A and B are shown apart, each in its own frame.
Chain A
Amino acid sequence: MSTAYTGSGRLARLALRRDRVQLPVWILSTVALGAFAGSATDSQYPTEADRLAVLRVAVETPGLLMFRAAPTGTSDGQMTAFGILAFLALMAGFMSTLAVVRHTRQNEETGRAEMIGATAVGRHANLSAALTVVVGANVVLAALIGLAFTGNGLPAAGSFAAGAGVGAAGIAFAGVAAVAAQLTQGARAANGIAATVVGVAYLLRGLADVFGEVQPDGYTMTSAWPSWLSPIGWTMQMRPFAGDRWWVLVLPVALFAVLTAASFALTARRDVGMGLLADRPGPARASAALLSPLGLAWRLQRGTVLGWTVTITAFGLLVGSIANAVADELATNENVTGRLDDLAGGGGTR
């Protein structure tokens, strides 16, 4: 047995010690959000008729499908999955990518990995410790979501399928972050890459739902195929409370396995502290603009500013399209007006 993993246990305990506040906060707030959204379904849409009405609007409204998901039916569990599950998977994704990068690339960037690497730990110990902790966090998250949904009175099988779907997405994204952490020399850039993948996965799932096919019943949908390209799509494709397709879990687990194998192989091929993408050398002199306070602020923050500008613009376009779609819908569909505000989450649809 090689010693490449020697010390993983100690480093995993170190990661838990460092994260003893952060990870529980992520997990508990995600679970709380799920539990709250689930219990709110009942009071918002008490009758079958309410639910049918709202879902009939939803399947025709791109913005709603984007931020909710393709509906699978009107039961309590199905309404909960429609309302919040994709968002829980998104949160699991961010929890995972931030934690993996925190315990891998951030250690390398600060030089801590070098001090650790000079002790009797194996080459792969750091990465395997980070992944162990993050996979563990997702398993806990999955179990707690299952318990919380069951506590809301939903069927146990569907509840735990929903939890597993969310946790599995988190695990798949942990693999994504493990690879991202091999690429860049800085933790911020690695976080940026991983978070972008999570965001794109969410968008892909959303678009696949928008372009999905409305079933003859008029209120359930089958997502378009791109849903199968997204770990968050897979969460929904498990169809919790609507068949509980457990076999779909194979996909995130396989993706995690492939990405993890790749990241270990990349770790073995590179030097500690270095990224596979080399840092570009920059200018040797400050430009005139840099020497003004505003210029300096721009130079230091431009990456962040550009990132946010793009994000907010995209968000604005999306919200705009929702508003238009909703307005069209309202013009033709008077009986759902009262429900729309609840569903859009106070997004100002009137």
Chain B
Amino acid sequence: MAVKILAETLLSIRHIAKRFGDNTVLDDLSLDVHKGEVIVVVGPSGCGKSTLLRCINALEPIQAGEILLDGEPIKPDGKNITELRQKVGMVFQSYDLFPHLSVLDNIVLAPRKVQKRAKAEAEAEALTLLERVGLKDKAASYPRELSGGQKQRVAIVRALCMHPEMLLFDEVTAALDPEMVREVLDVILKLATQGRTMLIVTHEMQFARAIADRVIFLDGGNILENTPPEIFFTNPQTERARQFLNMFEFAAVKHHAPAED
């Protein structure tokens, strides 16, 4: 993979702490994301990957530290929070389309109501984006008429239509049937080639390896590894990362000729 010249910092997470009651989920965590960078976040279940993304989008308040986007602090009760959220697109694991709106209306709702864009212009862009993910003919359908993979592609388009500077993906394929995982990952891969800045949480290790500029390994509330994928997957620096990666390996099982009866 070509080494990207590090562009300016888009997102700066500085010494943040996140607690739920006594449960400290993120502890003095810092991370910089540069423009155009694709960062994959991995780690065991419950280590706080979703929480980290939710803090970045101010869906969760943080107890210490700060998160800066373009140099501006992100706070749930901040005055400019809706402007900042427009710069960050997020796609969740659960299908989060609005069930009462058609695909097209799902996509243009925020551009129209939040960004006050003209209906014709927003719809034209939505249709172009839908076409790119192969769903133009579904514009008038309702979410319940779509497969899981189609729903996630619409959710991605919905985020893109707001022209975000950065995209957050939280295990967007985890709830999908295996045969639908690929169609969604392909869309995300295409976004990476367009130079999008992305923070991706995933359990698809092959995909992580293919797309990431950097892999972040999160455990025990902090970042244990922050390395290019070639290093992370072949020569992880910490024991915990090694153990984590081992979970994805399967020992060969011999099927032939039972040794004893």
On whether the two chains bind one another, the answer is no
Interface residues of B (CB under 8 A from A): none
